[in-house]
Amino acid sequence: MKKQIRRALVIVNLIKEETEELAAQVRAYLEQRGIQTSVAPVQDGTFPQVDPATDLAITLGGDGTLLYAARILASVGGEEGGAQEIPILAVNLGDFGFITEISRQEWAQALDKYLAGKLGVSRRIMFDAVVQRGGRAIACFSGLNDAVVRSSEYSRIVGLRLHLSSTYIARYRADGLILATPTGSTAYSMSAGGPILHPEMEAFILNPICPFTLASRPMVVPDSEELVVEVEERQRTAVALQVDGQEMYRLQPGDRVLFRKSARSTLIILSDQRNFYQVLASKLNWAGQPNA
Any idea which residues carry the catalytic annotation? Answer: 63
Give the Cα separation of 56 and 90 in Å (integer): 11
Nearest of 253, 228, 266, 272 to residue 111 by alpha carbon: 272
C-alpha angle 198/204/210, rounded to 5°?
A: 105
Alpha helices in 206-286 (DSSP H): 276-283
Cα dist from 144 to 12, 243, 264, 291, whole Å: 18, 9, 10, 25
